[in-house]
Amino acid sequence: MAGWQTTPPLDDSLPGGWCVVRGPQGFLLDDNGVLFPRPWLQQQGLPQVAEHGLGYFDGEPVWLVLLDQDTDLPGCRWQGMRPFMLQADYPTFRMLSFAEQVASWSRDHRFCGRCGSRNLLVPGERCMRCPTCGLDSYARISPSMIVLVTRGDEILLARSPRFVSGMYSTLAGFVEPGESVEECVAREVREEVGVEVRNLQYLGSQGWPFPHSLMLGFHAEYAGGEITPQPEEIEDAAWFHIERLPPLPMPRSIARYLIDLYVARRLGLPEPSLQR
């Protein structure tokens, strides 16, 4: 069994295994990576607030250990999630992506959102249950769309004020209650850049751990309108010819996959694959 495999929560009585540690500053790592022997870690006296069984890495069980305060271990350092997107191998990134989302859910649901009682972890489930009123809080996924809008050999790209300097990307946004993903695509494109789209095609999805999104990727054709960037949300937006593109998102992202796929199809090149 190679790579990363998610499973229902692991039995805490399983012997051995590995841990990844999430604290206020990110994930703990040393020169060997982010996996630490579980028995060794249990002897370090860390300010642990929760432990969650995640799955298996190369056939070995892995737990997530959550800390609520900064701590130091000799030879170790802390690193946020985004650098792992650039530096880690893909199985490790997938594992940490899952761990990050479990950490966010665990941190945000320590107490019941209805009556305020302390929640308890339900054995064998990714669920926190209130012992007072019975409210169940499952690990949350926030669906969002990401779309590449095209016009022949041109693609519509935009810049958020939060982006790395000079980088342009596709449009994205969260699905509203009662709204289909297709309706979200049309609404978000209209709101962010003021144009209309047609002929939507679903192309793939990607989990996005910032903090708990599922990105649903689409291609859409331009149907009309002039680009009008949404104030405070879009710093700049423009049409770019496929052979004269600006700096783009990292290759591992679904945004880059949507762009590379369209360019490959227009130029008759081999089509890329979305990493999973």
| Average pLDDT rounded to a whole number, residues 22-30 | 95
pLDDT score of 2 more than 70: no
Tell the CATH topology of 4-108.
Answer: Nucleoside Triphosphate Pyrophosphohydrolase (3.90.79)
Mean pLDDT (the chain, rounded): 94
Q: What average pLDDT does the segment 99-119 reach?
A: 96
pLDDT of residue 1: 44
pLDDT of residue 12 exceeding 90, the answer is: no
The string of pLDDT tens digits covering residues 225-245 is 999 999 999 999 999 999 999
- pLDDT the model gives residue 103: 95
Q: How far, in Å, are 30, 199, 259 from residue 49 at the CA level? A: 22, 49, 42
| Cβ atoms within 10 Å, residue 204 | 16
To the question of pTM greater than 0.75 for the whole model, the response is: yes
Alpha helices in 109-158 (DSSP H): none
Task: Check if 4-108 and 142-267 are the same fold.
Answer: yes
**Which of 257, 249, 178, 248 has the alpha carbon at shortest distance from 216?**
257
Q: Are strands 18-23 and 36-37 parallel, antiparallel or unpaired?
A: antiparallel
SS3 content of the chain, % helix, strand, coil (to 5): 20, 35, 45
pLDDT per residue over 147-173, tens digit each? 999 999 999 999 999 898 999 999 999
Q: Indicate if the pLDDT at residue 70 is higher than 90.
A: no
The superfamily (CATH) of domain 142-267 is Nucleoside Triphosphate Pyrophosphohydrolase (3.90.79.10)
Judge contact between 171 and 147, C-beta under 8 A. Answer: yes
98 or 12: which carries more pLDDT confidence?
A: 98
Domain boundaries, the chain: 4-108, 109-140, 142-267
Q: Are 7 and 55 in contact (CB under 8 A)?
A: yes
